[in-house]
Amino acid sequence: MSNGVHRRPAGAAATVLVVLLVLLTLSIDTRIGLASPVCEPQVPSTCSLRQLADMTHIRLGSTAEAAETTDVNHADLLAREFNALTPENALKWYATQPTAWTWDFTDADTVVQFALDNGMQIRGHTLLWAQDTYTPAWVLGISDPTALQIEVDAQITATMDHFAGRVHRWDVVNEPLATLGTGPSDSVLWRLGPQWIADAFRLAHSVDPDAELWLNEYGTDWVPGKHEALLDLVRGLVDDGVPIHGVGLQTHRLPGFAIDPDRFIAQLRDVTSLGLQVAITELDIPISPTDPSALDQQATEYASIVTSCLRVPGCVEITTWGLSDGSTWLDSLGRFPTPTRPLLFDAAFAPKPAYRAVRDVLATAVISESSPTDSLQPTAEEPTLPVT
């Protein structure tokens, strides 16, 4: 009895503590306008994007740099709102092998571990980027194709080996076409001969036969003729039996240009009709820094693009290129008036109208059970992530 008497106050104190914690959590949720732990899609504000994306069986991703994974503002939002993550720069050749034959995977390991710790699927971006601006200087200096091939193969092999068992999906080749054109990019990689893309995919497949292998391209949604050029290139790979499983359409939008959903959906379907998965891999929608209606227009655009993906079986991922407007790459690109404000969260990490628009589209998809994977015929096994 006496034990019971002593236990009761402790139990009451514990109950009070739990109630206080719940109230604190709810007040934080209300303050920042985000979801509570129980998601009810009929009331979208009770759901995080991640909860709805899980229910819709789609990957919803963001990017991260290593430092952002230890910044509480970034880390909490990333883990809470997204079920997928792309290292923004840490896996690129210039980051992993800045000088010849000295690899440094420290930053990439940090981002990958953060994703694994939080049960997020990883897009390994990218093994080869066919733009000289973003190729390490020591690689640009190699003019002999045989010597260059040795370096290319070493980069693919070392990176995939290092992340074997942790990263199951790779952008093997990024931006093989001219940024604003339809021909090959001016990258040194083309010195290897026209088969360099097929060779890279074959090597990647031999290094990790279970990995999903993707080709990623910029500007096919707005550069005239570029979608058709990409399709020709990819069709050639498929016809030659090259192990490719998906095509990423970056979808960096231009300020003030609404997407044509019918055309965009047709483009997504063009890819899946080749038997491949398709993904929107680098979505951002810059807007005018001054126009008061810009935030609402942006919300409409985000809704339109997410809806397009959801309407295409085989469109398996939507990743935004960055988390908050405070750290978008577009503000230092020098191409658009700044701040470009292209993402779902503002510079103070508060959700924007675009966030709510995406949330509502996903909630509607859950309610109508219009899962994008209903009729998906995947070309590769969906990898199983280690449970941490």
User: CA-CA distance, 233 to 243, in Å (whole number)?
Assistant: 14
In the residue annotation, 282 being an active-site residue is answered as: yes
Task: Tell me which residues in 231-260 interact with ligand XIL (CB under 6 A).
Answer: 250
Task: Dump the DSSP string for 218-276.
Answer: SSTTTSTTHHHHHHHHHHHHHHTT----EEEE--BPPTT----HHHHHHHHHHHHTTT-
Are 73 and 349 contacting, i.e. CB atoms less than 8 angstroms apart? yes
List strand residue ranges (DSSP E) for 130-180, in order. Answer: 169-174
Task: Tell me which residues in 281-300 interact with ligand XIL (CB under 6 A).
Answer: 282
- Would you call 307 helix, strand, or coil by DSSP? helix
Centre a 10 Å sphere on the Cβ of residue 163 and count the other Cβ atoms it contains: 20
Asked if the bond preceding 41 is cis, omega within 30° of 0, the reply is no
CB of 35 to ligand XIL, least distance (A): 28
- Would you call 283 helix, strand, or coil by DSSP? strand
CB of 291 to ligand XIL, least distance (A): 24
Task: Tell me which residues in 89-148 interact with ligand XIL (CB under 6 A).
Answer: 89
52 vs 127, beta carbon nearer ligand XIL: 127
Are 84 and 121 contacting, i.e. CB atoms less than 8 angstroms apart? yes
* Per rule CB under 6 A, count of chain residues that contact ligand XIL: 7
Which residue out of 65, 151, 282, 317 is catalytically annotated? 282
Establish if 82 lies at the interface with ligand XIL (CB under 6 A). Answer: no
In the residue annotation, 175 being an active-site residue is answered as: yes
Residue 374 forms beta bridges with which residues?
A: none
Answer for which of 54, 68, 88, 107 binds ligand XIL (CB under 6 A) is 88
Angle between helices 49-56 and 72-81 (to 10 degrees): 30
89 vs 340, beta carbon nearer ligand XIL: 89
CB of 351 to ligand XIL, least distance (A): 22
Task: Tell me which residues in 203-232 interact with ligand XIL (CB under 6 A).
Answer: 218
54 vs 331, beta carbon nearer ligand XIL: 331
| Contact string (CB under 6 A) for ligand XIL, positions 265-284, x = contact | -----------------x--
State the residues that interact with ligand XIL by CB under 6 A: 88-89, 174, 218, 250, 282, 329
- Active-site amino acid positions: 175, 282
